[in-house]
Amino acid sequence: MTVLKVVLCGDGGVGKSTLTRAFLGREPPERLTVGADFYTYEYKGKKFLIVDIGGEERFRFILPLVAKKAVGLIYVFDLSRPSTLFSLVEWDIHAKATAKPGAITFVIGNKADLKRKVDNAAIEEVCGKINPVKYYESTALDRERVRKIFNEIFNTIASRTS
Ligand SMILES: Nc1nc2c(ncn2[C@@H]2O[C@H](COP(=O)(O)OP(=O)(O)OP(=O)(O)O)[C@@H](O)[C@H]2O)c(=O)[nH]1
Ligand SMILES: [Mg+2]
């Protein structure tokens, strides 16, 4: 069986691990991700390898290695920290350098429960450069919605890959 790789990217502390683990029905992470965490997930007869990268600068060297041949890229930023949105452009360039050509990309603005400091124009500008299939907003406080978003993402990836 082919394993379809999906990589979560984005700056440290934006909530990548919290969202991933909520989707998988697990407890929130106890601390920042060191290097990368790997999870397997089966859906519609397809097996996914979910790679949750540590967003800290010092782990950035891992990205081209783990993004290799990825079919899905999920970019997460923090709606209360504008710099995390703008840095997605860099994440995108480096992830797409080794991901499969045409990798299916999604952007998630997380921490919607906090005071919003990113305006829609900025999100549109960044999404214009990245060209995601869809943009979502989430908060880890609503695990049900997080699961919905991720189900939709994996459904899209599953239906567009063979
Ligand atoms: N208020 C709020 N806090 C959140 C949300 N999502 C995550 N957090 C908190 O943000 C902190 C960082 O979350 P992580 O999931 O570890 O972030 P990460 O992107 O995996 O960070 P790295 O592993 O360093 O890349 C934790 O204290 C979480 O509880 C959210 O939607 N709202
Ligand atoms: Mg993490």
Q: How far apart are CA 69 and CA 86, in angstroms?
A: 24
pTM summary value: 0.98
CATH number at 32 reads 3.40.50.300
Supply the DSSP symbol for 89.
H
Q: How far apart are CA 101 and CA 83, in angstroms?
A: 27
140 lines ligand 1 (CB under 6 A): yes
What total number of domains does the chain contain? 1
pLDDT in tens, the chain (162 residues): 789 999 999 999 999 999 999 999 999 999 999 999 999 999 988 999 999 999 999 999 999 999 999 999 999 999 999 999 999 999 999 999 999 999 999 999 999 999 999 999 999 999 999 999 999 999 999 999 999 999 999 999 999 997
- C-alpha of residue 155 to centroid of ligand 2, in Å: 23
34 lines ligand 1 (CB under 6 A): no
Domain with 36 in it: 3-160
Q: How far apart are CA 95 and CA 152, in angstroms?
A: 22
> At 5, is the secondary structure helix, strand, or coil?
strand
- C-alpha of residue 131 to centroid of ligand 2, in Å: 24
Provide the sign of the torsion angle of the four alpha carbons 26, 28, 30, 31, taken in this order: positive
